[in-house]
Amino acid sequence: MALFDWKDSRLGEKETKILEAAMDEFIAEGWNGARMQSIADRAGLKKSLVHYYFRSKEKLYRETVWRVMEYFFTTVLGQTEGKENFEDFLRSFINSVVDATGLNPRIPLFLMQELSRGGEVVCSILHDILSLQEIPVTTVMRIHIARAIEKGEIRPVDPIQFILSLLGACLYFAMAEPIIREIGKREGFLDQFDRQAFLEQRKEAVFNQFYYGIGGKRSE
Amino acid sequence: MALFDWKDSRLGEKETKILEAAMDEFIAEGWNGARMQSIADRAGLKKSLVHYYFRSKEKLYRETVWRVMEYFFTTVLGQTEGKENFEDFLRSFINSVVDATGLNPRIPLFLMQELSRGGEVVCSILHDILSLQEIPVTTVMRIHIARAIEKGEIRPVDPIQFILSLLGACLYFAMAEPIIREIGKREGFLDQFDRQAFLEQRKEAVFNQFYYGIGGKRSE
DNA sequence: TTAAAGTTTGACCAGATGGTCAGACTAAAT
DNA sequence: ATTTAGTCTGACCATCTGGTCAAACTTTAA
Q: What is the DSSP string of B59-86?
A: HHHHHHHHHHHHIIIIIITTTTTT--SH
The answer to whether B110 touches A116, Cβ cutoff 8 Å, is yes
Predicted local distance difference test score (pLDDT) of residue B220 = 43
Spell out which residues of chain B touch residue A182, defining contact as CB-CB under 8 Å.
Answer: 123, 126-127, 130
Predicted local distance difference test score (pLDDT) of residue A216 = 64
Q: Which nucleotide is nearest to A60 (CA to C1')?
A: D18
| Tens digits of residue pLDDT in A8-47 | 888 889 999 999 999 999 999 999 999 999 999 999 999 9
Residue B4 confidence (pLDDT) above 80: yes
Strand C contact at CB of residue B62, distance < 7 A: no
CA dihedral (B33, B37, B38, B43) positive or negative: positive
CA A74 to chain centre: 10
Q: Which residues are CB-neighbours of B128 under 8 A, at least 6 positions away? A: B66
Question: Alpha helices, DSSP H only, in chain A?
Answer: 13-33, 36-43, 47-53, 57-70, 86-103, 106-116, 120-132, 137-150, 159-187, 195-212
- The Cα–Cα gap between A61 and A47 comes to 16
Predicted local distance difference test score (pLDDT) of residue A186 = 85
- The Cα–Cα gap between B39 and B35 comes to 6
Across the A:B interface, residue pairs with CB atoms under 8 Å apart total: 225
Count Cβ atoms within 10 A of the Cβ of residue A135 and give its class: 0-12 exposed, 13-18 middle, 19 or more buried. exposed
Residue B77 confidence (pLDDT) above 80: no
Phi and psi dihedrals of A138, rounded to 5? -65, -35
What average pLDDT does chain B have? 91
H/E stretch holding B169: helix B159-187
Predicted local distance difference test score (pLDDT) of residue B163 = 95
pLDDT, average across residues B37-45: 98
The answer to whether A81 touches A75, Cβ cutoff 8 Å, is no
Predicted local distance difference test score (pLDDT) of residue A220 = 44
- Spatial distance from the CA of A63 to the C1' of C8 (Å): 24
- Spatial distance from the CA of A32 to the C1' of C11 (Å): 26
pLDDT higher at B215 or A86: A86
- The Cα–Cα gap between B33 and B21 comes to 14
* Low-confidence residues in chain A, pLDDT < 50: 219-220
Spell out which residues of chain A touch residue B123, defining contact as CB-CB under 8 Å.
Answer: 178-179, 182
Predicted local distance difference test score (pLDDT) of residue A109 = 97
- Name the band, by pLDDT with cuts 50, 70 and 90, for residue B218: low
Predicted local distance difference test score (pLDDT) of residue B176 = 97
For residue A17, give the amino acid letter: K
- The Cα–Cα gap between A27 and A174 comes to 15
Q: How far is CA A212 from CA A87, A177, B198, in A?
A: 11, 25, 25
Count Cβ atoms within 10 A of the Cβ of residue A178 and give its class: 0-12 exposed, 13-18 middle, 19 or more buried. middle
Of B20-34, B117-131, B132-146, least confident by mean pLDDT is B132-146
Those of residues 141-180 in A touching chain B at CB distance below 8 A are 142, 148, 153-155, 157-158, 160-162, 164-173, 175-176, 178-180
3 state DSSP class of B56: coil
C chain positions with any atom within 7 Å of a protein CB: 7-11, 16-22
pLDDT, average across residues B85-101: 94
| Tens digits of residue pLDDT in B136-175 | 778 888 888 999 999 999 999 999 999 999 999 999 999 9
- Spatial distance from the CA of A43 to the C1' of D13 (Å): 33
Q: State the nearest Cα–Cα gap between B12 and chain A, in angstroms.
A: 31
- Name the band, by pLDDT with cuts 50, 70 and 90, for residue B11: confident
The answer to whether A70 touches A129, Cβ cutoff 8 Å, is yes
The answer to whether A182 touches B127, Cβ cutoff 8 Å, is yes
- The Cα–Cα gap between B61 and B19 comes to 9
Count Cβ atoms within 10 A of the Cβ of residue B85 and give its class: 0-12 exposed, 13-18 middle, 19 or more buried. exposed
B10 and A CB contact within 8 Å: no
**Is the CB of A112 less than 8 angstroms away from the CB of B175?**
yes
Q: Could you tell me which chain A residue has the CA closest to the CA of B135?
A: A187
Answer whether 0.85 is exceeded by the pTM: yes
What average pLDDT does chain A have? 92
Portion of chain B with pLDDT greater than 70, in percent: 97
**Is the CB of A126 less than 8 angstroms away from the CB of B176?**
no
Predicted local distance difference test score (pLDDT) of residue B1 = 58
Full DSSP string of A27-63: HHHHHHH--HHHHHHHHTS-HHHHHHHS--HHHHHHH
Predicted local distance difference test score (pLDDT) of residue A6 = 87
For residue A104, give the amino acid letter: N
